Amino acid sequence: MLEQGTKAPDFTLMDQQGQSVSLSDFRGQKVVLYFYPRDNTPGCTKQACAFASVWEQFQQLGVPVLGVSKDSVASHQKFAEKYQLPFILLSDPELTVLNAYGVWQEKKLYGKVSMGVVRSTYLISEEGLIEKVWPKVKPEQNAGEILEWLRKEE
C-alpha cells in the first residue's frame, strides 16, 4: 500500500454513468478514494450506505467521495441505483488503479488463499498527495472515521 506523503497515482476510469473520471479532475480539493471488493455484498453495501448517509457532510466540507472496485460500469450503475448512492463509483476491471494503490493483495479466507481487494481508504490532499491512509477498514465505521479526521483538520 502507498504511504502518507506519497504522490497519489493519477488515473482515469469510467464511472457508473459510463463517464470518464480522472483523479486530476479534483486537483485543488481533498478527495476520499475508497477501495472495496464487490458491489452488492454485505460489507460493501454497509460501507457504501454509510458514505451515502453522511454524503451531505462531505459535500459541506467540499470533499468528493470516489469508490473503486473491479466491478463493471453496469454493476456499479445497478448498485448505485439500488441503494441511491450519491457519489461516484469507478470501474477498474483491469486492476490498474487497484494495483497502483497497492490494495489488490493476497487474502486468506477459511484457509483458502486468493487475490482480492483489501478494503482501504486514502485521503488525497489538494496537491495530489496521500494525506492519510486507512488500511483494512471496517465497513460501517469508515465514513465516520474520515469525517472525524477532516473535522479535526479544520
- Residues recognised as catalytic: 44
Q: Which helix (H) or strand (E) holds 6?
A: none
**Alpha-carbon gap, residue 67 to 47, rounded angstroms:** 10
DSSP string, 78-140: HHHHHHT--SEEEE-TT-HHHHHTT-EEEEEETTEEEEEE--EEEEE-TTSBEEEEE-S--TT
Residue whose C-alpha is closest to residue 53's, from 129, 146, 136, 119: 146
Distance CA 36, CA 18 (A): 19
Contact 34, 120 (CB under 8 A): yes
